[in-house]
Structure 1
Amino acid sequence: MEFNSARSAFKYYLTSQNLESQITVFIPAYIGWSSIEGSGVFDPIKDSNVKYEFYALDTELGIIKNDLFVKINNAPANSILLLIHYFGRPDPNLGMIVKMAKEKNIRIVEDAAHALFSSLIGGSCGGLGDVSIYSLHKMLPIETGGILQINNNETKEINRMVENSYLRSLLSYDLSALAQIRKNNEIYLRDLLLPLHGEVDLLWPELTPNNVYLQTLPVLIKKKSRNDFYFELNKQGFGVVSLYHTMINEINPNHYPESFSLSKCILNLPLHQESKQEDLKDMVNLMINLIN
């Protein structure tokens, strides 16, 4: 099913389910807000007036399993576990987490807004739960577009629909080629950043698996101001972003200090198909100048 955005797709799912008042939507405690866009994934939850609860993430945005399992262990049946594949990377323990949730009759929604390539090309996420949500305009040169994929047997026909405009747009791209460009850019950019260790550190030090294709490469600005890097790099046209730079008010900094610490220093470097390697090298040279 197609929508203008992943946010609209998620809202449709929540409002179409006739959610029981006693269920809970479990949300990772790393949700951002901006004055322009609000909070893409949290706004539909607020609008649906459903009960929600946060679960903890570690300093690499990995799910802290013990915290999550305690929270879903006694949750009402048909509660919802929202899994966000941050920047296109599924959690390393995704299979175990999905298995645990299913054993507790918890529905699983995969937010794959950043993981279109990891799902459709890599197969590392997107089909494990009940629902998957994709954003086209965040991953492809399309102005708008979101897709709701429902994975149960009754609605498989939805996934075969190709007559609508967004799915036609999706099928018009060579996704395998674009995914490989992203992987090549990740490998190249990682090598360029190695001498900056201690000043600019990779959020995920190890190269992502071959079946994972990142939306952006998240790094941590350790000693300088993240905002100085953000504004200067964009002033020079490199198109960096700082995703989730401001946590939503509903997340308590005392309960989830890792999330707030991360949000203050994270910077997302481009990997998309328009990112030429010579441009990535120029970007890193500018970062070196900013450090010095």
Structure 2
Amino acid sequence: MISAEAEDLLGELASEGVAPWLAWSSPEPPGPDVVRCGFAGVRMPPGASLSAVRAACTALSEAGGSVAVAAVVFDRAAGPDDWVAAARVLGGGVDRPNLLVSIPATKAGIGAIADCLAEGIGVDSTSVVSLGQYREVLDAQLTGLERALAKRADLGSLVASASCEVGPLDSEVNALLDGIAAGTGHDLRDTAGLATARLVYRLREQWLAGKRWQDLRAGRARAPLLLWTGTTPVHVPALVGGNTGHVMSAETAEAAARQGGLRGDTLLGRHEQAAETIGRLAELGVPVDAAAAAVHGRLNGHE
């Protein structure tokens, strides 16, 4: 499925605590070769059939991997209850413990996270673009896990993840820089996504040091996972930190492998540098929060 060099890269990522996920585009389910290559998770395409998702979950189950697929709500005015209902239908139809139901980090989607987790439904919160959005997602994740713990649920098998859109944020900020700064050669191009990712990582580490998480950890809860999505080959070695994951195509894995190996952890303790980058962008008239809001709107169909 992929070259030996790309398999080596996936192995390097795993040794650094980074789960390589395969961005899958085919309506046919990926087979056991995905696990043999080193992928620990699969993101299925929107509209994938229940049988395809079930087969993917089965393929990854023995290796402890997860499969994420989107819940579907057609009404843009849908509320949290609608997303919970859609997650129940999808979860019940697939009926595999390693399924993650993908729900967008909109106001209604975030409102559904806690209810889903409290019912034992694993959730991947998608289209997280800003630090503020991730703060709301993380709070909802911990709330859901706390409610599940109160019900004496097995938290060791319950996964909560957040998919952070790195590449699209870079593209949005790059376009703004091209209009006001030094064009394509500006030194702040391709920095906004990494800076935001580092701040998101820092926020999660702070929360995991708090009492809420310590109580959940005592109940065998698994730490919320951060997944980097929309990335390019350049992002792969730049986003390496414990309990994270890269969602990438086989082509991205191949291109990243051709660039060379990893550089160790590139997230822990980098928050001050990240904040400085965000500040420099703001000084140039490029507020990253506004750019993130624009990306988030496009991702969720309401510009």
Could you say whether these structures have the same fold, taking a TM-score greater than 0.5 normalized by the shorter chain as the test? no
TM-score by length of 2: 0.37
- If the length of structure 1 is used for normalisation, what is the TM-score? 0.39
Instruction: Tell me which protein shows more helix as a share of its residues.
Output: 2
